[in-house]
């Protein structure tokens, strides 16, 4: 085994550990897209485009305030980026070979390289040389990332993330401080649920307005009490238009993350 292979971070192993220990990452492996039967140009271009969209999306996601909760998550991302660079090297070399096979079939002429003297005079052979050079330049970056993964993964993190929705509701209430109180459900409470509402509601009081905060099985919402329609039995009913969506769909999003979203929705400093 080469030194590089010995140092290669196992991103799948890190992902598996995270999804088994972090409630908000449960089922992470199930959502990964892994086609193994790509054989035609359509498949090749679909994968190339998907890779570009995914890496562009990752860069945008990492710019978000709550992109990651723990250094262990950062370690997993660093490991995947190592895999991306390593695969990019293989893909660049594979692209060289694919174009060579097109020439071998007689579908294009592959002249001698021009030597990169003038860009306007470069030909397909020069393009193949440039692909190879790009691959070689990426190789140097592979030596750095493995050494970043281990210390990140071993960094002690002070945040304690809830493992159930009820734990999250209680922690969110604490995060919101004087703004909130937890209204626990007397009957039908589901304290152990990880993916649905637990039956409790957080009451948020701001500038004389009462809001209800809970997870409805799909996303986190704030519901202003005043928007409800009073029913004959004295209860209240709201429509979807009454809900203030917090743009958070994970029931186990960190308490600080949910609290921040609530404060932003209310126009308060986070």
pTM score: 0.79
**So what's the pLDDT on residue 110?**
86
Kindly give the residue spans of alpha helices, DSSP state H, lying in 28-69: 41-62
Question: In terms of DSSP bridges, do strands 244-245 and 220-224 run parallel, antiparallel, or are they unpaired?
Answer: antiparallel
Q: What is the pLDDT along the chain (270 residues), one digit of tens a residue?
A: 455 565 677 788 888 888 877 777 777 666 566 666 667 777 887 888 888 999 999 999 999 888 999 999 999 999 999 999 999 999 999 999 999 999 999 998 888 888 777 777 788 999 999 999 999 999 887 888 888 999 999 999 888 888 888 889 999 999 999 999 998 876 555 666 666 667 788 999 999 999 999 887 788 989 999 888 888 887 888 888 888 889 888 888 999 999 999 999 998 887
What does the pLDDT read at residue 7? Answer: 63
* pLDDT value of position 65: 86
Write down the pLDDT at residue 1. 42
Among residues 203, 202, 177, 185, which one has the least CA distance to residue 269? Answer: 177
Sign, CA dihedral 138-141-146-148, equals negative
**Cα(35)–Cα(47) distance, integer angstroms:** 9
Tokens of 142: 């592979």
Cα distance between residue 118 and residue 131, in whole Å: 17
Longest dimension (CA), the chain: 86
């Amino acid at each position: 085994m080469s030194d590089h292979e010995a140092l290669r971070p196992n991103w799948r192993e890190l992902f598996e550990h995270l999804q088994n220990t972090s409630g908000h990452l449960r089922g992470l492996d199930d959502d990964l897209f892994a086609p193994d039967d790509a054989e035609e140009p359509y498949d090749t271009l679909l994968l190339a485009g998907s890779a570009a969209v995914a890496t562009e999306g990752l860069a945008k996601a990492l710019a978000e305030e709550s992109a990651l909760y723990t250094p262990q998550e950062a370690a997993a991302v660093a490991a995947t980026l190592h895999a991306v660079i390593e695969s990019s090297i293989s893909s660049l070399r594979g692209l060289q070979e694919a174009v060579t096979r097109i020439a071998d079939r007689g579908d294009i002429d592959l002249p001698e390289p021009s030597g990169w003297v003038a860009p306007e005079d470069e030909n397909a052979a020069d393009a193949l040389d440039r692909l190879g050079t790009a691959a070689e330049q990426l190789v140097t970056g592979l030596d750095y990332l493995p050494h970043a993964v281990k210390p990140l993964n071993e960094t002690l993190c002070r945040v304690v993330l809830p493992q159930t929705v009820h734990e999250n509701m209680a922690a969110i209430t604490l995060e919101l401080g004087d703004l909130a109180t937890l209204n626990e459900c007397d009957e039908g409470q589901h304290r152990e649920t990880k993916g649905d509402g637990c039956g409790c509601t957080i009451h948020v009081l701001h500038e004389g307005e009462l809001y209800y905060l809970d997870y409805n099985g799909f996303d986190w919402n704030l519901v202003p009490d005043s928007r409800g329609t009073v029913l004959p039995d004295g209860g209240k009913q709201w429509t979807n238009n009454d809900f203030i969506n917090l743009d958070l769909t994970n029931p186990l999003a960190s308490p600080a993350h949910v609290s921040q979203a609530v404060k932003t929705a209310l126009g308060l400093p986070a």
